[in-house]
Structure 1
Amino acid sequence: MSENDEVPREPWEYCLYIPNDPRAVTVSRRTLRLILTLHGLIRLVDVAELLATELVSNAVRHTKGPAALRVRWAAGVLRIGAWDADPAPPEPPVPLEQTAEVEEGRGLALVKACADLWGWQPLSREGNRGKVVWCELAVA
């Protein structure tokens, strides 16, 4: 970032609950763009949109219930997560060099290649189960 860019100092967090509908991916991507623009993080928008699209697409495509886009900023790190109600772990990413040969599995390979860090964690809260698949982008 240039010296004139203002990086948010205070932490913030958003959560957008979405239905299991392929159109929710577009809603999530556009919402993320708006959030990052309003917080002065326009430089992260393109990569963040790609990552969020892959995470939310997987949540919508591979599960039957609702999902959510989670976005958090703290200490110079943007964390993007997709929650879904299925507690099963995501399929391991296919190595990026092999993605041209497969129909599916490119999403997490892109996340792994573009994010500074990524992972998943099971969740259990108030009797609800599920998982969050997340990735992080650090502002250097």
Structure 2
Amino acid sequence: MTDQPDLPGDRSAQDTVVVSLTEYRQTRDPVPVTFHRRELDAILRIYGRMVGEGEWKDYAIDHMKDRAVFSIFKRSGEMPLYRIEKNPKLAGKQGAYSVLNTHGMILKRGHELPQVLKVFDKALKLID
């Protein structure tokens, strides 16, 4: 309506900017790092084998903005026995994948997940 005066806070149609919602969300909250289907297949294959042997009982998957973590537990109320981490920032350096023990010590690190998961082919035992 043209006969109404412009208010100080009003914007005209010329000042309006259209922003894509997906672009806006990506700038505010980056998409978290996740495991892809093939990566989860490889991890769950080893997990299933170890559950069958009675070594492992539970797992948890965490997707954070800088890394993805697959934690393996003997009992659900304890600290994880092992953590399989995917950190894309290290992909060009030491490798994006790593396996850590309860104390956070890196057991194996590399660029390819199947190669890193070979650490579980040996008979690892938890020493108290």
- TM normalised by structure 2 equals 0.33
Higher strand proportion, which one?
1
Q: Greater RCO between the two (CA within 8 Å, min separation 6)?
A: 1
- TM normalised by structure 1 equals 0.31
Bigger radius of gyration? 2
